[in-house]
Amino acid sequence: MNEAIFYHWFLLVWTTLAVVICISLFFVNAPYGRHSRRGWGHNIDPKWGWFIMETPALLFPILFFLSSSRSQDITAILFLLMWEIHYVQRTIVFPLVMKKSPSRMPLLVMFMALFFNMSNGYLNGRFLFSLSEPYGSQWLSNPRFIIGATFFISGYIINIHSDSILRGLRKKSETDYKIPHGGFFRFISSPNYFGEILEWTGWAIATWSLPGTAFALWTVANLAPRAFANHRWYLKKFSEYPSQRKALIPYIL
């Protein structure tokens, strides 16, 4: 079996699996963070868990780019920069600035996320820098790239700002959860997830690719059920929680 056939079937199975995972996560919350619970095996410090599981997504596209013939393609370079600006933050910066938490990450969760990032990094990196037709510099003036890049940058800013608000809720010695305020928290309970979904929806539009679309679907599959679970958790834990907030999409959902 050559790589093109393998890639085709892997992408098909991968996209189908996203739908299955999305449905299942509405019934079983992933056991990390505020939803941590016993019964999921050995645990790891979440800082190390985040670093280990995100590293393939950081490195795979770089390796595919460096081994390709597209190092002079400005569009390929910009796609790599878009991808890396997210994953440098997620792999290196986010664990370093993460506040102390009473919960730990199950190794099972870390290994599942590790497999996801290896697969996703392969599908997107291999397509963009080897298997696709070269985009060329003319793609930068295409409305799909402009709209997608705008979504991506907007989502990235929302995601980073929301994470910053969450980190600022606790002092060094504190571990209790508090109600976040400011930014998009005025409208929804999980603007960090909303921002990330907006990012990778923008990525799918900007690359106009099936692996980009699969990544956007996976992002929704992982984060939408968790956003609704977080919203229910806030309402249950805090009697004074703002009733006008939605779970994930401002004013809508």
Does 44 share its domain with 150? Answer: no
Which percentage of the chain shows pLDDT scores above 70? 91
Whether residue 2 lies inside any domain: the answer is no
Using the predicted structure, report yes or no on whether residue 32 has a pLDDT greater than 60. no
Does 137 share its domain with 152? Answer: no
Hey, which residues does 246 pair with through a beta bridge?
188
Does 116 share its domain with 147? Answer: no
Does 44 share its domain with 98? Answer: yes
Whether residue 24 lies inside any domain: the answer is no
Using the predicted structure, report yes or no on whether residue 139 has a pLDDT greater than 70. yes
Name which of 149, 154, 237 is nearest 194 in CA terms. Answer: 154
Using the predicted structure, report yes or no on whether residue 41 has a pLDDT greater than 80. no
Hey, which residues does 105 pair with through a beta bridge?
44
Average pLDDT of the residues of the chain? 89
Does 68 share its domain with 41? Answer: yes
Tally the domains of the chain.
2
Whether residue 23 lies inside any domain: the answer is no
Domain boundary among 93, 121, 141: 141
Domain boundary among 81, 115, 141: 141
Structural domain harbouring 107 = 30-141
Name which of 97, 82, 119 is nearest 51 in CA terms. Answer: 97
Does 47 share its domain with 83? Answer: yes
Name which of 211, 206, 53, 202 is nearest 126 in CA terms. Answer: 211
3-state secondary structure of 106: strand
Whether residue 124 lies inside any domain: the answer is yes
Using the predicted structure, report yes or no on whether residue 42 has a pLDDT greater than 60. yes
Tokens 């956003």, residue located: 227
What's residue 31's pLDDT? 59
Mention every residue, 6+ apart, whose C-beta is less than 8 A from residue 48: 95
Whether residue 19 lies inside any domain: the answer is no
Does 148 share its domain with 218? Answer: yes
Whether residue 94 lies inside any domain: the answer is yes
Does 165 share its domain with 121? Answer: no
Does 38 share its domain with 133? Answer: yes
Measured at the CA of 41, the angle between CA 56 and CA 171, to 5 degrees, comes to 75
Binning the chain into helix, strand and coil, the percentages to the nearest 5 are 70, 0, 30
Does 127 share its domain with 157? Answer: no
Question: How far apart (Å, rounded) are the C-alpha atoms in residues 8 and 88?
Answer: 29
Tokens of 203: 């990525």
Question: How far apart (Å, rounded) are the C-alpha atoms in residues 199 and 154?
Answer: 7
Does 55 share its domain with 160? Answer: no
Does 167 share its domain with 249? Answer: yes
pLDDT tens-digit profile of 158-216? Answer: 999 999 998 888 777 666 788 999 999 999 999 999 999 999 999 999 999 999 999 99
Domain boundary among 113, 141, 169: 141
